[in-house]
A and B are shown apart, each in its own frame.
Chain A
Amino acid sequence: MRQRVVIAIALLARPRLIIADEPTTALDVTIQSQILKLMRQQIAEKGASMILITHDLAVVSEMADHITVLYCGKVVERGRTRELIETPAHPYTRGLIDSIPDTAHRHDRLRQIPGSIPDIRNLPTGCNFRDRCPRAQALCAEREPDLARQHATLWAACHFPLKPGETA
């Protein structure tokens, strides 16, 4: 109910851009689905744009047209939602997607990203993700990869990106 009030406040001035920072993270799923529906409706009706900030890949994949993935303060991948979810090029995005338990295809073990996020005050040389990356090679420690076009709308910052169909 409180979040509805906040959405009403945000929409009152008919903004053309709404920035929503984890708008449903504290809510239960049945309430979350009400709020997401309300936001989708309002945006469609008013023709506004939205930046949706969330850690919940399932929520963004239902809401967003485009997704940008951040790691240690840098964009590591961006692209159209279905493309990024179905054929990610960056190993971090792949790892995130694989970590989510899949209710359609259940596996005994989840794929996990080893290790944890590096200390932001003391980042590794080269690629920030290389310590946790299954594809890392010598080059990844030497040079930080730039964001480069992969396939279709997908851009990723990786020296050894995944091709569509590759798993890890």
Chain B
Amino acid sequence: MTGRDVPMLEVRDLTMHFPVGGGLLDRLRVDARGVRLENPVVHAVNGVSFRIARGEIMALVGESGCGKSTVAKTIARIYDPTAGEVRIEGEDIAGYGFADMLPVRAKMQMIFQDPYASLNPRQRVRDIVAEPLLEQTRGAQERKQVPARIEQLLARVGLSAEHAGRYPHQFSGGQRQRIGIARALSVTPGLIIADEPVSALDVSIQAQILNLMKDLRDEFGLAYLFISHDLSVVHHIADRVGVMYLGFMVETAPRDVLFARPRHPYTRALLSAAPSIKAKRDVEEIVLGGEVPSALSLPSGCCFRTRCPFAWDRCAQERPSLRDVGAGQAVACHLIDEPERERT
């Protein structure tokens, strides 16, 4: 099962719907004729599929509320997926309980956006970093090795041995993120899920952490699922990029293909809206009006049609599926069939 061709992570039709309300009275809602009404749900993730090879960095981009963080948390099984498969080295963990997850957690770890909130303020750094490893380690002899391993890890992420006895509040944001990275590495995982790992950091510190994450990938052959809203960061670190909108994957492509030839109108709008320190660009290619619709009631057909400058009647009737267009690129857009629509 762990042959070289089995992806580190494979996600198929992942769906995560959150019920809203859910109190007793909400569950008893009926219409005028006494027929029970369906409870409203937030359609956070709607049938997302992708795979990540060993040592590959896949980025998920999109704006607030597009479901990228929910994808991360569902894969890490912080949430229980509503439907779909999550395969870690071929093994479907979507239905696993807490105890089943323990061995899986040795293969998959998570780094969080807020480096302070994700560290226990009352634990010393050495205990924070050791915790996942101790969970995985049985036998007194093996446990004795843990402190030496922790010291090694701290040194590897750029912290000194004297830092090990301190508490999280004594560190800067960048150092705290280094602690989070050391903790994730402690169990030598094959996959790290990083949810906006540099978004809370200053740009000069951000560069330090991105360099560290890249070095660690090369050194340990790590695969990353890298969640970010920052396209320049994604362009720097990712091998492949998936673009999400309203809980759907609208486009995936190798990094250079996506940045050179984005096909989905949303991807194109996103790329042209991103500010740059380079000299003034030409007019934006696609300017989006309006805002993202509510995930409580999805638009019919294409999720993006309410803001898409090219949308026509087919887009309201039929939901486009993600289709391969060559060069490793896949796009969910009816324009692929009818490209002439764009020129009118």
Interface, chain A (partner B; CB < 8 A): 1, 28-34, 36, 55-59, 61-62, 82, 85, 95-104, 106, 108-114, 116-117
Of B63, B174, B204, B233, the most chain A CB neighbours within 10 A belong to B204
Query: Which residues of the other chain, B, contact A36 by a CB distance below 8 angstroms?
Result: 275
Distance of A158 from chain B, by nearest CB (Å): 17
Within 8 A of A (CB), among B46-92: 63-64
For the complex, what is the distance from the CA of A57 to the CA of B259, rounded to whole Å? 21
For chain B, give the interface size range: 35 or more
Are B211 and A112 within 8 A (Cβ)? yes
Of A58, A98, A112, the most chain B CB neighbours within 10 A belong to A112
Are B235 and A29 within 8 A (Cβ)? no
For the complex, what is the distance from the CA of A28 to the CA of B64, rounded to whole Å? 7
Name A57's contact: one of B64, B174, B229, B277 (CB within 8 Å).
B277
For the complex, what is the distance from the CA of A44 to the CA of B210, rounded to whole Å? 39
Are A55 and B64 within 8 A (Cβ)? no
B276 interface contact, C-beta 8 A: yes
Name B232's contact: one of A28, A31, A101, A111 (CB within 8 Å).
A101
Are B275 and A1 within 8 A (Cβ)? no
Distance of A76 from chain B, by nearest CB (Å): 13
B214 interface contact, C-beta 8 A: yes
Within 8 A of A (CB), among B195-243: 202-208, 210-211, 214, 229, 231-233, 235-237
Are B236 and A101 within 8 A (Cβ)? yes
Are A28 and B63 within 8 A (Cβ)? yes
Knowing A102-B232, A104-B278, say if A29 contacts B63 (CB, 8 Å): yes
Within 8 A of A (CB), among B146-203: 172, 174-175, 202-203
Name B236's contact: one of A29, A56, A110 (CB within 8 Å).
A110
B273 interface contact, C-beta 8 A: yes
For the A-B complex, the count of residue pairs with Cβ-Cβ distances under 8 Å equals 97
Chain B's closest residue to A56 (CB) is B275
Are B235 and A96 within 8 A (Cβ)? no
Are B202 and A100 within 8 A (Cβ)? no
Are A29 and B277 within 8 A (Cβ)? no
Query: Which residues of the other chain, B, contact A116 by a CB distance below 8 angstroms?
Result: 172, 174-175, 205
Name B277's contact: one of A31, A100, A108, A111 (CB within 8 Å).
A100
Query: Which residues of the other chain, A, contact B204 by a CB distance below 8 angstroms?
Result: 95-96, 99, 112-113
B140 interface contact, C-beta 8 A: no
Are A30 and B232 within 8 A (Cβ)? no
Chain B's closest residue to A99 (CB) is B207
For the complex, what is the distance from the CA of A55 to the CA of B200, rounded to whole Å? 12
**What would 19 more interface pairs be, CB under 8 Å, given A29-B229, A116-B205?**
A28-B229, A29-B275, A30-B270, A30-B273, A33-B287, A57-B277, A61-B276, A82-B279, A95-B204, A96-B203, A101-B207, A101-B232, A101-B233, A109-B211, A109-B214, A112-B211, A114-B208, A116-B174, A116-B175
For the complex, what is the distance from the CA of A111 to the CA of B207, rounded to whole Å? 7
Name A113's contact: one of B207, B231, B278 (CB within 8 Å).
B207
Interface, chain B (partner A; CB < 8 A): 63-64, 172, 174-175, 202-208, 210-211, 214, 229, 231-233, 235-237, 259, 269-270, 273-280, 284, 287-289, 291
Distance of B246 from chain A, by nearest CB (Å): 13
Distance of B233 from chain A, by nearest CB (Å): 6
Chain A's closest residue to B278 (CB) is A104
For the complex, what is the distance from the CA of A106 to the CA of B238, rounded to whole Å? 11
Chain A's closest residue to B256 (CB) is A106
Query: Which residues of the other chain, A, contact B231 by a CB distance below 8 angstroms?
Result: 29, 103
Of A33, A57, A59, A108, the most chain B CB neighbours within 10 A belong to A33
Chain A's closest residue to B203 (CB) is A99
Chain B's closest residue to A28 (CB) is B63
